[in-house]
Amino acid sequence: MSGAYRVPMAAPDIRPEDIELVTRALASGTLSGGPYLDQLETAFAAYVGTRHAIGVTNGTSGLHLCVRAAGIADGDEVITSAFSFIASANCVLYERAVPVFVDIDEASLNLDPERIDAAVTDRTRAVLPIHVFGQPCRLDRLQALCDAHGLTLIEDACEAVGAEYGGRKVGAFGRAAVFAFYPNKQMTMGEGAIIVTDDPQWASLIRSLRNQGRGAMGKSAEHEHLGYNYRLDELSAALGLSQLRRLDDLLQRRATVAARYGELLRDVPGVSPLPVPPAPARASCFVYVVRLPPGADRSRVVARLEEKRIPSRTYFAPIHLQPYYRGRFGYREGDLPITERVAASTLALPFHGNMSDDDLACVVAALRFALAPGTA
């Protein structure tokens, strides 16, 4: 039914300059390991404020490489959130370690730092917080906890390019961070992601691991590590470089749409947009998520929105209640009550930076209809 939707769920902002730069990359004849990747990595490191940036295929591979670089292995534990896309926990399992889920803060929807101490054991090696929906975590508190326990902080910033905490970009706090650029993200490469770090040893290792474990000189026949093909191609890098050049405008457009949504939703009883994070934080709008009124039947709301040809998304489903995690670790409903309560009441509405006032009014009117009694 997607072709019949009145408003798309998401839409990348592709301009003629994006197409021109990708076309230049295509015409260059160098489609992998070329100058556009180098330029993107240099520019992105400068944007975030880190010494190094490494382009990779996607956010999942980026998180995997960070876990690998941290030396996390069999039986080690990584504290993280179950209110996320499943890749942020799967990347721990790839190295035969164990994700330890801690409940979230209900206001920010992020990992609650006050619950971490109780989850630390002698097997804990890292904390992997997720800046959910572009809402920055309490990075000062998380960093202090990691320092106190000798743990590695790895930021999952896949949804949060441009977000800030304490006047610094997210991604500049942990040992490393990962940003991802799927088509619904603030900027896009189609797929693709970038790892940032200040650690030169991590940067060197990650560059090797993404390139089949080849050494620093990149000799095709010399493999120093068990690596992967996680390389970012030149076409994706060119698109990313073009998008990065106007990222501030892309972020501002999304912020304007989000603010307008907030104004229109004030008159919809019981619907609560995500709160604006208090200083010293600044969010970056990835998706537009609302909390539905207590007792609302979310499945019914989704179905009624479909009647009005408006798409929506019910994410995130708690990772610990996914079938694989239930079967492997024995998780049950009630293990993470805040995560489960939030996950059952959140709904993502159509969102992108070029939505018109008519688009927004159409979505909000459909949501009002969907929540109204007697529309069964």
Active-site position among 169, 185, 219, 308: 185
- Assigned token pair, 87: 């890749």
Query: b/e string for 187-216 if b means 16 or more Cβ within 10 A?
Result: bbbbbbbbbbbeeeebbebbbbbbbeebee
Type of residue numbered 148: A
Measured CA angle at 241 (ends 25, 194), to 5 deg: 110
- Assigned token pair, 69: 């670089």
Quick one: the chain helix, strand, coil %, rounded to 5? Answer: 40, 15, 45
Query: Which helix or strand (DSSP H or E) is residue 273 part of?
Result: strand 272-273
> Which residues make Cβ contacts (< 8 Å) with residue 271, sequence separation at least 6?
265, 290, 291, 292, 293, 367, 371
Residue 219 designated active-site: no
Strand partners, 32: 233
- Assigned token pair, 79: 């504290």
168-169 vs 164-165, strand pairing mode: antiparallel
> What does the H/E/C string look like for 204-228?
HHHHHHHECCECCCCCCCCECCCCC
End-to-end CA distance of the chain: 21
Type of residue numbered 207: R
Helical pair 357-371 and 298-307, crossing angle rounded to 10 deg: 130
In this structure, the dihedral spanned by the alpha carbons of residues 216, 220, 226 and 227, taken in order and rounded to 10 degrees, is 80
Please give the Cα distance from 76 to 23 (Å, whole number).
45
* 263 in Cβ contact with 341 (< 8 Å): no
**Which residues are catalytically annotated?**
185
